[in-house]
Structure 1
Amino acid sequence: MAHLARQDFQSLRIAVLTVSDTRTFATDTSGQTLIDLLEQDGHALAERDLVIDDIYRIRARLSQWIADPLVQVVLITGGTGFTARDNTPQAVEPLLDKRVEGFGELFRQISTDEIGTSSLQSRALAGMANGTLVCCLPGSPGACRTGWTGILRQQLDSRTRPCNFVPHLKALPEQPTVACGSRS
């Protein structure tokens, strides 16, 4: 079973986008939380940006990263609630090739232990676009920590078995692509 063979850790290039009408880089504690966590776990920050909660600005920035051969994962924090200015899911969903159907459900399940039934108001979602995993998390440091430690830490670790997202991500230009089960 080649897919169960032990793999070495692979550091991923991850971009972080904060969606907010009020935060600046200096006050963006959610984006900084994600950066701290991904770097602590051995991944590299590809880029960081902050955009207002506007469907077309979110799509424009996300589209650039989806097309960038050096960005493998995009983590978006903010804009996933139910207010009139929460537009992240509507902005992101049309850009996805495939949704990760269980992501939002698992996030809400894990969050229930921390915030109770308020977890129902999270519209967290994830999907794949052009070999890039895109994950949308609520805009609080606690929610970002929950999403990273409860889901993303394992699913972005090439050693997680029986499966993880790493084989589905675009290979960086300097890394050769090896098909699962092929022999070198």
Structure 2
Amino acid sequence: MSRIDESKEFIPVRIAVLTVSDTRDAADDKSGNTLVDRIEAAGHILADRMIVRDERDQIVEQLREWVNDDRVDVVISTGGTGLTGRDVTVEAHREIYEKEIDAFGTVFTIVSMKKIGTSAVQSRATGGVAGGTYLFALPGSPGACKDAWDEILEPQFDYRHAPCNFVEIMPRLDEHLRRK
């Protein structure tokens, strides 16, 4: 089972939060607030925060901007992962990914099943890597954001987490882009 190796020093990562919604604004972005609160409580740095409409081109544009920004290590989006016609966040993410983290969606489903049973099947949460940046698309509910952060992302973004974690491989995520 996983554990925290107290002999290692915590390394904060820089995380941008993207809320995808046609109806939310800064005043009522509960899911975005949930993520920001947890990111900061864990000791990480909020690199940026935006709200965009459920428009694939707007989502792609913002994701690309952050992937190309050296001040962002991780992008977490919330909203637009469902099955309706306006839910295009997953497609936008996959347009950006160089590599998909296939197990993220599976693990998220397992975590969700414990909380909401078979309704977990309606989420298309996803994760991937592009340009040395991690990207994760979470559902738009505060509960889903809590579950994803508490059960998956917080441990994986803690360098002390053993047996392995996302932080320790960050320096090698873009090694294929470097000149040989």
TM-score, length-normalised on structure 1? 0.88
Task: Show CA shifts across 1:47-72 (max 9, x none).
Answer: 00000011100000010000000100
Distance 1:101 1:34 in 2: 22
Alpha-carbon shift at residue 170 of structure 1 (Å): 5.1
Task: Show CA shifts across 1:26-85 (max 9, x none).
Answer: 010000000000100000100000000111000000100000001000000000000100
What letter matches 2:134 in structure 1?
L
Task: Show CA shifts across 1:122-145 (max 9, x none).
Answer: 000001111111011000100000
Alpha-carbon shift at residue 162 of structure 1 (Å): 1.3
Task: Show CA shifts across 1:116-165 (max 9, x none).
Answer: 10000000000111111101100010000000001001000000111111
User: Considering only aligned residues, what root-mean-square deviation do their CA atoms show, in Å?
Assistant: 1.5
Please list every run of at least 4 consecutive aligned residues from structure 1 whose deviation after the TM superposition is greater than 4 angstroms: none
What letter matches 1:103 in structure 2?
F
Distance 1:124 1:13 in 2: 21
Distance 2:61 2:126 in 1: 18
Alpha-carbon shift at residue 167 of structure 1 (Å): 2.5
Distance 2:28 2:19 in 1: 11
What letter matches 2:138 in structure 1?
L
What letter matches 1:92 in structure 2?
H
Distance 2:39 2:103 in 1: 21
Task: Show CA shifts across 1:14-33 (max 9, x none).
Answer: 00000000000101000000
1:114-153 equivalences in 2 (<5 Å): 114-153=115-154
1:34-49 equivalences in 2 (<5 Å): 34-49=35-50
What letter matches 1:112 in structure 2?
M
Distance 1:25 1:46 in 2: 16
Is residue 66 of structure 2 the alignment partner of residue 65 of structure 1?
A: yes
Residue of structure 1 in register with 2:177 after alignment: none
> Is the 2:75–2:133 contact (alpha carbons within 8 Å) kept by the matching residues of 1?
yes
- Unaligned 5+ segments in structure 1 are 172-184
Distance 2:106 2:19 in 1: 22
Percent of residue pairs identical:
48
Distance 2:168 2:114 in 1: 31
Alpha-carbon shift at residue 8 of structure 1 (Å): 1.0
Residue of structure 1 in register with 2:175 after alignment: none
Q: Residues 170, 54 of structure 1: CA spacing in aligned structure 2 closer, same or farther, 3 A cutoff?
A: farther
What letter matches 2:100 in structure 1?
R
What letter matches 1:51 in structure 2?
V
Distance 1:153 1:117 in 2: 24
TM-score, length-normalised on structure 2? 0.90
- Unaligned 5+ segments in structure 2 are 173-180
Residue of structure 2 in register with 1:94 after alignment: 95
